[in-house]
Amino acid sequence: MSGFQKVDVLSVILYGEDYLKHSVGDSVLDQYRYGKRRMDGNGRKELLLPIEIIEKIIWYTREAKLKTKYLFLSKYFYVRYLPTIYEEPELHIGNVLRFIESITVNDSPLLGYEEQRRVGTGKITEGNQNANEKENINKNTTKKRKKFKNTRGEYIKKLDLTKLSGGIRSSNITKIIKHSNKELRELVLPQMKIGYIGVISFRNCLKLKKLDLSLVLDVINLNELITCLNRLEYLKELRFPRSSIKMDGNGNKDNGDVKYLKIKKIESLYISGGITDEILENLNPEGGGNDVHEASGGNSSNIEKLSIKFCSSLTDFGVYRFLNNNRLGRNIRELSVFYPNVKLSANTFDYVFKMCPNLVRFEISDDFISSELFSDYNLAMVRDSTSSTGSRSSVVLEELHLTTSGLLGQFNKVRPEDLLLALLELRFPRLVRLRLSRRLGWDVAGANGVLDQIVGAVERNAGAVCFDA
Spatial contact of 332 and 356, defined as CB atoms under 8 Å apart: yes
Spatial contact of 272 and 309, defined as CB atoms under 8 Å apart: yes
Mapping DSSP onto H, E and C, the string for 63-126 reads HHCCCHHHHHCCHHHHHHHHHHHHHCCCCCCCCHHHHHHHHHCCCCCCCCHHHHHHHHHCCCCC
Q: Is residue 458 part of a domain?
A: yes
Res 289: pLDDT:
40
pLDDT higher than 50, residue 166: yes
Res 245: pLDDT:
76
Res 92: pLDDT:
92
Strands 334-337, 268-273: pairing is: unpaired
Spatial contact of 316 and 345, defined as CB atoms under 8 Å apart: yes
Give the CA dihedral 408, 409, 415, 418, nearest 10 degrees. -140
Closest CA to 101 of 28, 172, 168, 169: 172
The pLDDT > 70 percentage for the chain reads 68
Per the rule left: phi > 0, alpha: psi between -120 and 50, beta: everything else, 413 is: alpha
* Most confident listed range (1-5, 30-34, 420-424): 420-424
Cα–Cα dist 106/86, whole Å: 16
Beta strands of 303-360 (E only): which ranges? Answer: 305-311, 334-337
Instruction: Please name every residue paired with 311 in a beta bridge, in sequence order, or none if there are none.
Output: 273
Strands 399-403, 361-365: pairing is: parallel
Whole-prediction pTM: 0.77
Instruction: Please name every residue paired with 262 in a beta bridge, in sequence order, or none if there are none.
Output: 284
Q: Where are the alpha helices (DSSP H) in 154-261?
A: 170-178, 195-199, 222-229
- Taking CB atoms within 8 Å and a gap of at least 24, the contacts of 416-419 are 416/442, 416/445, 416/450, 416/451, 416/454, 417/450, 418/371, 418/374, 418/375, 419/374, 419/454
Q: Is residue 244 part of a domain?
A: no
Spatial contact of 199 and 232, defined as CB atoms under 8 Å apart: no
* Mean pLDDT over the full length of the chain: 77
Spatial contact of 460 and 428, defined as CB atoms under 8 Å apart: no
Give the CA dihedral 55, 185, 287, 324, nearest 10 degrees. 100
Residue scoring higher pLDDT (154 or 116): 154
User: Strand, coil or helix: what is 245?
Assistant: strand
Q: Is residue 405 part of a domain?
A: yes
Q: Which helix (H) or strand (E) holds 17?
A: helix 17-23
Helices (H) and strands (E) in the chain, counts: 17, 15
Spatial contact of 57 and 13, defined as CB atoms under 8 Å apart: yes
Residue 418's identity, in one-letter code, is D
Distant-in-sequence, close-in-space partners of 272: CB < 8 Å, separation ≥ 6: 214, 239, 240, 241, 242, 307, 308, 309, 310, 311
pLDDT higher than 60, residue 20: no
Could you list the residue range(s) of the whole structural domain that residue 358 is in? 345-469
Q: Is residue 395 part of a domain?
A: yes
Cα–Cα dist 205/39, whole Å: 47
- Residues 97-108 have a mean pLDDT of 84
pLDDT in tens, 285-327: 544 444 434 433 334 478 999 999 999 889 999 999 899 876 7
Q: Is residue 197 part of a domain?
A: no
Name the domain count of the chain: 1
Residue 48: Cβ within 10 Å count: 17
Spatial contact of 282 and 292, defined as CB atoms under 8 Å apart: yes
pLDDT higher than 70, residue 435: yes
Res 389: pLDDT:
58
Q: Is residue 410 part of a domain?
A: yes
pLDDT higher than 70, residue 147: no
Q: Is residue 299 part of a domain?
A: no
Q: Which of 212-216, 353-357, 395-399, 407-411 has the lowest mean pLDDT?
A: 407-411
Closest CA to 183 of 155, 209, 159: 155
The pLDDT > 90 percentage for the chain reads 39
pLDDT in tens, 52-66: 787 777 777 666 666
Cα–Cα dist 96/102, whole Å: 10
- Residues 239-249 have a mean pLDDT of 75
Residue 158's pLDDT band (cuts 50, 70, 90): very high
pLDDT higher than 80, residue 464: yes
pLDDT in tens, 182-222: 999 999 999 998 888 888 889 999 999 999 999 999 888 88
Residue-level length of the chain = 469
Spatial contact of 466 and 440, defined as CB atoms under 8 Å apart: no
Q: Is residue 158 part of a domain?
A: no
Q: What is the CA radius of gyration of the chain?
A: 31
pLDDT in tens, 245-296: 765 544 455 555 566 787 778 999 999 998 888 888 777 554 444 443 443 3
